Amino acid sequence: MLCGDGREFKKQIPNIGTVGEDFYSFLENGSAGFFRQCSWMGKKYNCDKIFRPIITDEGLCMTFNMLNDEQIYRNNVFPPPINRKLPNDYAFEEWSADHGYGEEAGVESYPRRALLSGSSNALIVNMEVALDDLDYACSNFQGFQVVLHKAIRFPTVTEHYFRVPLSKSVIVAISPAQIVTSDDVKYYSPRKRKCFLQGEKTLMYFKNYTQYNCKLECLTNYTLDVCGCVSFYMPREKYTPICGNGNLTCISFVKRYMDIAGLRRSLDKETNIRNFSKILSCDCLPMCTMVEYNTEITEIDYDWYKKYESIGNKTERDEKYSSSQLVIYFKSGHYIPCVRHELYGHLDFLANVGGLLGLFVGFSLISLLEILYFVSVRIICNMKLYQHWYGE
């Protein structure tokens, strides 16, 4: 289930249609810890205090600065028991996806603020993995996968990630790109402005709308409709079956169909597969207020073994491990957001029409008064004086 569609291992692994809740315990017990040291804004932390485990499409991962399940999922969702809560000193308050932090949010508010920019205020994570735990059968890449995402969005690792190879130090400089929407555009319907405000579209599983959450919910619903179960990482209600490796082909088919559903609709509007007729109505528009993270990534060798050897801190254990380092920081303390405005309002349209008339026909307000004079006052006076509208 964690090795793609599992075709290479089809003969070795029993064909299981669905699995129980004990599958999550298997994931937790079979995943070795990989944190060695963590620091945030120049201060060292216990990694377990600032990271928490979460189940994703790649299995058990660790997340930093993501909201608790109570803030992400609705009450009907039964999250994996492995998703632990944040400590009490990281309470979620005074923050929203559209407006950010409130006026009363302090320095220690959550999600954590990157108060300063530059590499000296970075999130630095030193990771290690036992050489015996490397799995060359599932993937030709050995290392770590990292996803940058908003705190309210469920991360899909297989779709959007960058890699941290073994024995490498990866430095990531982030430049945020924010799009906000002006008040004038908010009065338009979502179809015209082509984006959703928070609260305009309600999701069944997620409390906050994002385009990625919407797509994941859509994929979850149609996986359940077609396969009769959902994948282990998908949001689900308490008694919804969890797909085993026997349903991997069905899961892959549904996902593949969703990826090309819009293209099929545009190429052949007459074609409609009954079982998937609703799939084209997922209606997952982008958010009107959104933040994207542009990155500049550099990679160098991480000579961790020589470092510990030079300071006399090398142990026999280190010879059996490989380490990597991840450094993430904001490139600048400021950024300029983009504002989504209407291209032409009513006043803009009238102003442009008046300008074009003045340019091409010499039209002005005086010309308009002259026209009104000739079609009203002049005719009335001629009728009284000459009994003809055109006068003499």
Confidence category of residue 160, pLDDT binned at 50, 70, 90: confident
Provide the pLDDT for residue 241: 95
Rounded Cα distance between 104 and 28, Å, is: 38
Q: Say whether pLDDT at 87 is over 60.
A: no
In the chain, % of residues over pLDDT 70 = 78
User: What is the arithmetic mean of pLDDT over 182-204?
Assistant: 88
Burial letters 340-377, b for 16+ CB under 10 A, else e: beeeeeeeeeeeeeeeeeeeeeebeeeeeeeeeeeeee
Asked if residues 79 and 237 have their Cβ atoms less than 8 Å apart, the reply is: no
Provide the pLDDT for residue 384: 77
Rounded Cα distance between 246 and 248, Å, is: 6
Provide the pLDDT for residue 370: 73
Provide the pLDDT for residue 275: 44
User: For residue 276, what is the DSSP state?
Assistant: G
User: Which tokens is 338 given?
Assistant: 């983009």
Residue 189 DSSP SS3: coil
Question: 287: Cβ–Cβ under 8 A, 6 or more apart, which residues?
Answer: 97, 195, 196, 197, 198, 209, 210, 211
Using alpha carbons, list the distances in angstroms from residue 84 to 14, 80, 81, 306.
31, 9, 7, 36
Is pTM beyond 0.85? Reply is no
Rounded Cα distance between 54 and 52, Å, is: 7
Torsion from C-alpha of 89, 90, 95, 97, nearest 10 degrees = -170
Q: Say whether pLDDT at 53 is over 70.
A: yes
Q: Provide the residue ranges of all domains of the chain, joining segments of one domain with +.
A: 31-173+291-336, 352-386
Domain 31-173+291-336 has CATH 2.60.470.10: yes
